[in-house]
């Protein structure tokens, strides 16, 4: 297992006043009910931080195109009145204070903790990259820890405008070596000098046939000593 060496610290969910957020949401074609209610509650409890909302259709199963179109719209106009783009997926359940909590860190690139996979193999979406396309999921952390890592998914990530400017268009694309568009985004951000952090105290749930969350991963984790996986097609 890979254990982050970062010390655990208390995190206050009070956003810095200069943060102004645009929410870009990947919209799915089917009704997600509970997840949609969660997104509405999260946005209503953002304490005035949200200045714009950018919907993006999940066209032909290409979530990379949806994220790219959202980011293009943000960079074309919305960034003039916002400092950060919060990319979220509609099939997620978010804590109500997620916007304030992520913004409170004052970081250019920070994400909420997400779990992917199924109940028989849930995996935290928090990785350190190895050689080529291989990466290792960070398997242990202290509750509420802010963990530096190389990559996560795009389900709930707060991105400062300066990061998007440094990476350049196109933002969400598959790499030449076959690395997924989300992993490649964070790899490019790191090359540009931006360290990603995941706030493990900001727990989301992935709503597929059921709501897959951190507790499902905890229940599965103890029976497995290593999590070394290959990136696959974006969800």
Q: How far apart are CA 225 and CA 138, in angstroms?
A: 11
- Give counts: helices (H), strands (E), the chain: 6, 15
Confirm whether 130 is domain-assigned. Answer: yes
Confirm whether 7 is domain-assigned. Answer: no
Confirm whether 14 is domain-assigned. Answer: no
What pLDDT was estimated at residue 171?
Answer: 94
Domain count, the chain: 1
What pLDDT was estimated at residue 10?
Answer: 40
Average pLDDT per block of 10 residues along the chain, 235 residues long: 36 59 80 63 87 78 85 90 92 90 95 78 80 72 89 93 95 79 90 95 77 55 45 41
Confirm whether 10 is domain-assigned. Answer: no
Give me the phi and psi of 186, to 5 degrees please: -70, -30
Rg (CA), the chain: 16
What pLDDT was estimated at residue 6?
Answer: 37
Confirm whether 192 is domain-assigned. Answer: yes
Per DSSP, the residues of 191-228 read HTT--EEEEEEEE-EEESSSEE-HHHHHHHHTT-S--E
pTM exceeds 0.95 for this model: no
Confirm whether 206 is domain-assigned. Answer: yes
What pLDDT was estimated at residue 34?
Answer: 53
Residue 58's nearest CA partner among 88, 29, 91 is 29
List the domain range (segments joined by +) for residue 33: 21-229
Strand pairing class (109-113; 196-203): parallel
What pLDDT was estimated at residue 221?
Answer: 52
What pLDDT was estimated at residue 174?
Answer: 79
What pLDDT was estimated at residue 180?
Answer: 80
What pLDDT was estimated at residue 75?
Answer: 94
Q: How far apart are CA 235 and CA 145, in angstroms?
A: 26
What pLDDT was estimated at residue 8?
Answer: 36
Confirm whether 70 is domain-assigned. Answer: yes
What pLDDT was estimated at residue 92?
Answer: 85
What pLDDT was estimated at residue 12?
Answer: 42
What pLDDT was estimated at residue 212?
Answer: 56
What pLDDT was estimated at residue 23?
Answer: 94
Confirm whether 139 is domain-assigned. Answer: yes
CATH at residue 221 = 3.90.550.40
List the alpha helices (DSSP H) in the chain. 34-44, 63-76, 98-104, 161-167, 181-191, 214-221
């Amino acid at each position: 297992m890979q254990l982050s060496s970062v010390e655990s610290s208390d995190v206050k969910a009070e956003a810095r006043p200069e943060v102004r957020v645009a929410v870009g949401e990947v919209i799915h074609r089917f009704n997600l009910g509970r997840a949609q209610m969660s997104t509405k509650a999260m946005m209503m409890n953002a304490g005035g931080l949200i200045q714009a909302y950018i919907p993006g259709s999940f066209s032909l199963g290409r979530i990379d195109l949806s994220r790219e179109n959202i980011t293009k719209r943000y960079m074309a106009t919305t960034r003039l009145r916002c400092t950060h783009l919060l990319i979220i997926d509609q099939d997620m359940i978010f804590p109500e204070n997620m916007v304030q909590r992520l913004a409170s860190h004052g970081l250019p690139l920070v994400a909420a903790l997400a779990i992917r996979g199924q109940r028989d193999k849930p995996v935290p979406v928090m990785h350190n990259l190895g050689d080529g396309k291989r990466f290792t999921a960070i398997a242990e952390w202290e509750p509420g820890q802010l963990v530096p890592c190389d990559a996560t998914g795009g389900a709930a990530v707060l991105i400062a405008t300066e990061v998007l400017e440094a990476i350049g268009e196109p933002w969400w694309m598959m790499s030449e070596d076959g690395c997924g568009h989300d992993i490649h985004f964070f790899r490019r951000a790191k090359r540009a000098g931006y360290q990603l952090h995941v706030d493990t105290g900001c727990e989301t749930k992935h709503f597929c046939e059921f709501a897959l969350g951190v507790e499902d991963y905890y229940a599965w984790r103890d029976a497995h000593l290593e999590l070394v996986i290959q990136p696959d097609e974006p969800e």
